[in-house]
Structure 1
Amino acid sequence: MTKEQETRTPGSEQGRVDEALAEGVPPTDPATSDDVAGERVDVAPEGLAALLEEARNRADDNWNQLLRARAEIENLRRRHAAELEKAHKFALDGFVRELLPVRDSLELGQVAARDETADLGKLREGTELTLKLLVDAMAKFGVEAIDPEGEPFNPEYHQAMSTQPRADVPPNRVVAVIQRGYLLNGRLARPALVVVSQAPA
């Protein structure tokens, strides 16, 4: 086999080029062609430019979408932070509104008590109404009083201030409440201060 025949051997790149030139067909440029199912498909330079432009447009669209998404997330974060700050600042707004009538009633009672001719019975009645307003306002927000007189001593809700020997009461019973305790939605806000019975010596 001659050297010229070797260069024209089918299967070699140079052989295909020489055969294409001999037949008058321009050779395929590997840089501008793709293999599809094992066959070479010519892609003109104009086609490559179009594909590149399309890829750039898609990249620009994706970048713009990313920027918009980041802006929306940042706006959402700022909005949530502002709402959280507002919630913390005005969390007691409803409770304060309920307490305002109680304060108004107390102030009216104070003014009436300064009058030397004030009726003691009316002052007592006004005080009872004011206390009822306060109890109702606290109950609306889940505040419940602990008044355990006569009940067994419970260290989870009661704080023993002293003990008292009692023959008429079983040991470890609350015989007096020095100060009421309170629950807030079932959770202890303040224990009741109590006196607890003990067996006589």
Structure 2
Amino acid sequence: MTPPKKKSRGAVESPTLEPGEELAEALREASESVSDPAPDSAEGEPPVEPGPEEKLEALREELGQAQDRLVRLQAEFENFRRRSLKERQESLQYGHQNLVKDLLATVDNLERAIAHSAEDASASMESVLQGVELVQSDLLGALGKHGVRVVEPIKESFDPAFHEAMGQVPDASVEPNSVVQVLQKGYLINDRMLRPARVLVAREPSKDEDEAESAADDEAEKK
């Protein structure tokens, strides 16, 4: 019988693996080798500094962007300045518009008083009439200093921008759609409509209206 061999000192025995375990171990080592690739030889090297031409091109790009921002800011400021100037001018021209509207009612009352007084030919009413006319003239003069103008469009063509039609009347003596009577004067303030004039507008008379007007004229001539 052969005696068993002695194990040498310092030798480390490798664990004995079954065939299935050897396959699993091989697969694990292969997976680790794929997930942990070998370090790149270039890794750890300092980045390459850009050359003078590249630095100059980058500065040019930054300068162009800054100039674009400056142009936009200048355009925005100019628009703001123009808006502010326009608002200031409108405030100076039309800031008292509401006050003038309130005063127009007073002007209307003065005109009615003058028209009523003119119907009375007495001496006492004549002096009253002169006083009212003077007040009216002073008030219109004060309004005129603030850019207020009267719109009184007798025999002018009807314009809806400046006139408010209150009705139509047959009238063959003027062109159709002409203003033949002003019921209430209109007013402008610095070319802006403050109040349109209320008017009656002419239309072409019908045949019956024309005949009736001719008969009335003949009757008046006989008298």
TM-score by length of 2: 0.38
TM-score by length of 1: 0.42
Larger radius of gyration: 2
**Normalized per residue, which structure has more strand?**
1
